[in-house]
């Protein structure tokens, strides 16, 4: 069973995502535009393009397309009826329409193992850590010097191994994390 915590992790791992609560509902937004929320009845509501909503509805029979007039604007499914991988993919698809194209491209590059086009993050830190750093706007090793290890560890996807590898690479270049 998928939980609110898993939804939170999936959404907050995406670039520029912020969490809020309004009228008893937890929501996630990029630049003030909501893309996912958890309703009071524990359903996940996602703002999706029509094709993605149709695909989600076909894959999740307990879900439903969301309509505004005749237009499909998203998808809703009970949180208990969707697996973590599917939720992650749907949250990412919902976020993509709200996120600046440059950040979406960097996230796609991180998934492909390429990192940021102008970045120098070592591939050994892993895809989750690379995505988290890119999502926080940290595309180069020199940008990391303005942050502490604890600040990096607070990013979802960055673990102790990634911080160790980054610290070692910074040290090789005569640099270090702050503090």
> pLDDT, tens digit, for every residue of 96-154?
888 878 777 777 766 665 555 567 888 889 888 888 888 777 888 999 999 999 999 98
Asked whether residue 29 carries a pLDDT value surpassing 90, the answer given is yes
Asked whether residue 8 carries a pLDDT value surpassing 60, the answer given is yes
Asked whether residue 28 carries a pLDDT value surpassing 70, the answer given is yes
Give Cα separations from 123 to 26, 50, 107, 113, 128 (angstroms).
34, 35, 14, 7, 11
pLDDT at 73: 95
pLDDT at 100: 77
Cα dihedral sign, 163-166-171-175 = negative
- 171, two tokens: 């040290």
pLDDT at 31: 87
Question: In the predicted model, what is the mean pLDDT of residues 17-29?
Answer: 92
Highest mean pLDDT out of 30-34, 136-140, 160-164: 160-164
pLDDT at 114: 57
Which residue shows structure tokens 């993605």?
52
The DSSP code for 117 is T
Angle at 95 between CA 91 and CA 99, to 5 degrees: 160
Give Cα separations from 173 to 47, 116, 131, 145, 147 (angstroms).
44, 19, 23, 11, 16
79 within 8 A of 42, measured Cβ to Cβ: yes
pLDDT band, residue 77 (cuts 50/70/90): very high
């Amino acid at each position: 069973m998928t939980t609110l915590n898993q939804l939170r992790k999936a959404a907050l791992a995406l670039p520029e995502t912020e969490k809020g609560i309004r009228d008893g509902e937890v929501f996630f937004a990029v630049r003030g535009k909501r893309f996912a929320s958890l309703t009071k009845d524990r359903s996940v509501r996602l703002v999706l393009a029509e094709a993605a909503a149709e695909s989600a509805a076909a894959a999740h029979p307990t879900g439903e397309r969301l309509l505004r007039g005749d237009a499909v604007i998203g998808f809703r499914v009970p949180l208990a009826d969707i697996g973590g991988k599917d939720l992650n993919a749907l949250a990412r698809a919902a976020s993509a329409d709200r996120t600046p194209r440059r950040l979406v491209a960097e996230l796609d590059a991180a998934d492909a193992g390429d990192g940021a086009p102008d970045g120098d993050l070592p591939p050994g830190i892993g895809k989750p850590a690379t995505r988290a750093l890119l999502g926080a706007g940290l595309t180069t090793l020199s940008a990391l010097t303005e942050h502490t290890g604890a600040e990096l560890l607070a990013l979802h996807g960055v673990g102790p191994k990634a911080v160790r590898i980054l610290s070692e690479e910074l040290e090789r270049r005569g640099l270090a994390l702050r503090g």
